Structure 1
């Protein structure tokens, strides 16, 4: 099938006429983010049963005809690992399509594994080896070669077939509804929004700080996020995490003391030093009652760790029996929360509870006994 390259408004209108009325559209994107805060969209690949196209957003000033199709309430958008593609759509329109199918999530319901890559899925389901020659392509460069366009088109060429295979399997096994909540989460705007007030928690090493040091880290993290957005540069280009931690740890109060922070370059101090000192001063003035707190869970006992291991064994056993990837049901963190006595976990709701969750609860309540026969785990009613 010929791959259409669309870089003129008239071509886009013609493509959209061909795609109009599709029940589903396979979609992928190519973008760059190494030097920017926001991803820069470089190519959109789209396909239905009869058309494959690569649309050039660098040449087209108005993508609305295509986006109108993507956002049509009767059209399902099919992605593999949808998060980053949807983030781009959210950036373009400020809202998200409401009908999503993610083949990477669907793979977990069919026992293909967790975080399964696209190439692996194509090989498993279609016995096709994808060409990886252009995996490091700079998608901003123009013109794109025919080989690059074919490589990009493969990301939707086979996605169509994978989607139809998975849809049939999920329908036969009555598992399509199991994915509704996970797909719905992909269509919620809060999934792609981060609260700057809590971004300090994501800085590796923050747990080693305490008291006023955390207040400094919080102020610096908020400032850095704002600057990264304003300058459209990666956070690490504003200040690296390790420098942020040292600034919070030592709380310098002058340019001379700033220069003692290991790795903090003179040019960066000259550019941002005054504002950094202002943020540190604000944090130092923060009343103790307003200091952020890094909550650390009480360490698990050896017996609790053993119990978690037993529950993980049960999780794997029942997941294997119904050909579902265990991580689609619960992670070890989820099991740990269960052992700590938390209620209302996803594991205890809906299909997850039906497939596995209630067995784990029964085991915790002494209603099931765990045994083995050298080759298999055996379960006996308590």
Structure 2
């Protein structure tokens, strides 16, 4: 099937006429964000049963006709590993397509593996080996040669077949509803919104701070986020994470003392020195009750560790029965949180709770026991 390369408004209009009314559309994007805060959209690949096209958003400034089709509630937009594609669409449109399908999530609940890559899924589903020759392409460069365009088109060419295969398997195994919660998360604007007041949580090493040091990190992180957004530059280009932590720890009180911070370059001090001192001063003056707090988890006892080991065995047992990777359902940290009494964890909601979580809860209540022989674990329901 010939791939259409769309790089004029007229060609886009003609393509949209062909796509209008499609019950589903396979979509992928190519983008670059190494030098910017926001991802730069470089290419949109789109396909239905009859058409494969690559749309050039660098050449076409107004994508409204195409977006209107993607945001039609009667059209299911199919992605593989949708989150970054949806982040782009949310930035462009300020909302998310109302009808979504993610083949990576579907593959997870069907036993293909946790977070399976597109190439691996194509191989497993339709026994095609994808060409990786252009995996390092700079998609901002123009013109794109025919081989690059064809390579990009493969991301939706086979996505069409995979969508139908997985959808049929979900129906056959009565697992379609398992994806409701995960798809709802993908469709929620909150998934893509950044809160400057909590962005400090993403800074490595920040969790080791406390008190006014943590308040200082929060203040600095909020300022850096605002600066990165306004300048459209990566956070690390403003100030690196490790420098942010040292600034919060040492809390220098003057521009001269900023030079003592390891890794804080002279140019950064010249550009941001005054505002850094202002942010540190603001944090120190803030009321104690407003300071963020990192929840410190108590150490687990030997008995609790033994319970966790038993729960991990149950997790593997139930996942084996459903041919699903245990890591797709829960990890040891999730089990530890469950033993600590937490309930707001993915394991205890949606399909994960249906196939595993509620059984583990029964075990903790003494309503389910396990025995073992040299071959396997045996599960016994009480009463």
- Does TM, normalized by the shorter one, top 0.5? yes
3-state SS, counterpart of residue 197 of structure 1: coil
What residue in structure 2 maps to residue 226 of structure 1? 226
- The answer (yes or no) to whether the contact 1:199–1:222 under 8 Å persists in 2 is yes
The CA distance in 1 between the partners of 2:167 and 2:97, in whole Å, is 19
Query: The residue matched to 2:198 in structure 1 has which SS?
Result: helix
Give 1:216-365 correspondences, 5 Å limit: 216-343=216-343, 345-365=345-365
1:199 equivalent in structure 2: 199
Matches within 5 A, 1:88-107: 88-107=88-107
CA contact (8 A) 2:45 2:55 kept: yes
Which stretches in structure 2 are left out of the alignment for 5+ residues? none
Which residue matches 1:375? Answer: 375
1:299-343 deviation digits (Å, cap 9, x = unpaired): 211221221121111111111111233234333333222211223
Q: Distance in 1 between matches of 2:333 and 2:78?
A: 30
Stretch of structure 1 that moved more, 311-320 or 82-91? 311-320
Give the 3 Å change call, closer, same or farther, for CA 318–93 of structure 1 in structure 2.
Answer: same
Secondary structure (helix, strand or coil) at the match of 1:78 reads: strand
What TM-score, normalized by structure 1, do the two folds share?
0.97
CA distance in 1, matches of 2:142, 2:343: 54
CA RMSD of aligned residues (A): 1.3
Distance 1:188 1:130, change over 3 A: same
> What's the offset of the Cα at 1:173?
1.0
SS at the partner of 1:61? coil
The 8 Å contact of residues 179 and 351 in structure 2, kept in 1 or not, is answered as no
* In structure 2, distance between residues paired with 1:284 and 1:194: 24
Matches of 1:207 and 1:357 in 2, distance apart?
29
Structure 2: distance between partners of 1:96 and 1:271: 37
Q: 1:369–1:380: 8 Å Cα contact kept in structure 2?
A: yes
Q: Distance in 2 between matches of 1:355 and 1:175?
A: 11
Comparing 206-215 with 322-331, which one deviates more in the overlay? Answer: 322-331
Q: How many residues align?
A: 382
Alignment match, 1:2:
2
The answer to whether the 8 Å contact 1:98/1:184 transfers is: no
Task: Report the CA distance between 1:32 and its aligned residue.
Answer: 0.2
Query: 1:210 & 1:358 partners in 2: Cα distance?
Result: 36
Contact map agreement 1:31 1:139 (CA 8 A) in 2: yes
Structure 1, gaps ≥5 residues long: none
Q: Normalised by the size of structure 2, how large is the TM-score?
A: 0.97
Q: 2:181·2:350 contact (CA, 8 Å) conserved in 1?
A: no
Report the Cα offset of residue 147 of structure 1: 0.7
Match of 1:196, SS? coil
Distance (whole Å) between structure 2 residues aligned to residue 375 and residue 337 of structure 1: 29
Cα deviation for residue 207 of structure 1 reads: 2.1
